[in-house]
Structure 1
Amino acid sequence: MLSTMRSGVRRHSALLLFILGAVLLTPLSQAQQLQTKFGCNMTRDEDGEKVIYGDTGEFKLDGERIEALRWESALYRPTHGFECSIDTSDDPQAEVEQDGDKSNWRITLKDPVAARHQRGYDFYNHGMNCSIRLQRDGDKLHVIPSCPALCGSRGNFTELSVDLKTGECSYK
């Protein structure tokens, strides 16, 4: 009888630990999810020249798992334009870091050189690295790129912030 009671207590203790673990982990896993689509544009004067920025994208991340990733970033001048793009075919990988209520992701490419050559960018060398930081601060998502590998003759993607509720964008 005593062994039956001990077995029941162990079973209940294990169940309580499982439930407690699920309760404690649920907010953390929900905080590490990101699902957004955005479309941004801005025209500004740079040294007397009209410059148009245009960005569209989708980020759908669940922790370190990338479910969808697409970002096209363009910069147009009166005589020419440049663009950068990244999507799941570039073999991105994500790292996630929790900082209190904030979730931060760092997206890199498994093989930036192969991704650059797949896009036909072998004539300009702006670097072979690619890192895009996504910093979520409440309803704001800050998108901070350092990814010249996928930008052809342009130096990098455009840094921007997106309001996740309204879709409003601001450029840096």
Structure 2
Amino acid sequence: MRRAMSSIMRHCSARCSRLPALALLALSTALLAPVSHAQQLQTKFGCNMTRDEDGEKVIYGDTGEFRLNGDRIEALRWESALYRPTHGFECSIDTGDDPQAEVAQDGKKDNWRITLKDPAAARQQRGYDFFNHGMNCSIRLQRDGDKLHVIPSCPALCGSRGNFTELSVNLKTGECSYQDK
């Protein structure tokens, strides 16, 4: 940016000297200002649902917090649990797992993709060495108006469960809906 400013100053030498100092300051400020605003997401949620799966009562429970400023993660925490009458399963992710975010925009939708720098290390840190569900971890967050769709593919941070639960959260009301199986 500094190089661009000095180039502008060299090329307009005599003509620019007639510009008022305020106009020159405005030009330099405009050149240094970011072109677009970073996508931001700040939400906390708590969701639960009970449903019948093959004649068995199953309870889903999810709590989380996502605070993203562009590709910078300020806070990340998601616990996803599935309980059956005799046992339960859980998955969890937080900032201690060394997550990283990529940001994109698709029309009117804001999208983030959260991955782990080292999924194997995160899995080992949690003590998950008994079931090998793979080392993949990707969580897509898609904001469409007031709806946030949370789409996981992150078996690395699940103990004996295959994956986190896919869900949607209304950012205004806090109402949750779970993806049908």
Q: TM-score, normalising length from structure 2?
A: 0.85
Computing the radius of gyration over CA atoms, which structure comes out larger, 1 or 2? 2
Query: Which residue of the partner structure matches residue 18 of structure 1?
Result: 29
Over 3 Å counting, the alpha-carbon distance change for 1:150 and 1:163 in structure 2 is same
Paired AA for residue 146 in structure 2: D
Query: Which residue of the partner structure matches residue 16 of structure 2?
Result: 6
Q: CA deviation at 1:5?
A: 5.3
Q: CA deviation at 1:15?
A: 2.1
Instruction: Supply the distance in 2 between the matched residues of 1:9 and 1:109 (Cα, whole angstroms).
Output: 51
Q: CA deviation at 1:123?
A: 1.1
Q: Flag structure 1 segments of 5+ consecutive residues without an equivalent.
A: none
Give identity over the alignment, percent: 80
Q: TM-score, normalising length from structure 1?
A: 0.90
In the alignment of these two chains, the number of paired residues is 167
Query: Which residue of the partner structure matches residue 7 of structure 2?
Result: none
Paired AA for residue 156 in structure 1: N
Q: CA deviation at 1:4?
A: 6.3
Instruction: Supply the distance in 1 between the matched residues of 2:31 and 2:107 (Cα, whole angstroms).
Output: 20
Query: Which residue of the partner structure matches residue 137 of structure 1?
Result: 144
Alignment of 1:110 with 2:122, yes or no, is no
Please point out which of 165, 173, 181 is paired with 1:158: 165
Paired AA for residue 59 in structure 2: I
Over 3 Å counting, the alpha-carbon distance change for 1:3 and 1:83 in structure 2 is closer
Over 3 Å counting, the alpha-carbon distance change for 1:7 and 1:99 in structure 2 is farther
The Cα offsets for residues 97-140 of structure 1, whole Å up to 9 and x where unpaired, read as 01222110000000000000000001110011100000000000
Alignment of structure 1 residues 22-101 onto 2, 5 Å: 22=33, 24-25=35-36, 28-29=37-38, 32-101=39-108
SS in 2 for 1:9: coil
Instruction: Supply the distance in 1 between the matched residues of 2:20 and 2:167 (Cα, whole angstroms).
Output: 53
Over 3 Å counting, the alpha-carbon distance change for 1:129 and 1:17 in structure 2 is same
Runs of 4+ in 1 over 6 A off after TM superposition: none
User: How big is the alpha-carbon RMSD for the aligned residues of Structure 1 and Structure 2?
Assistant: 2.1
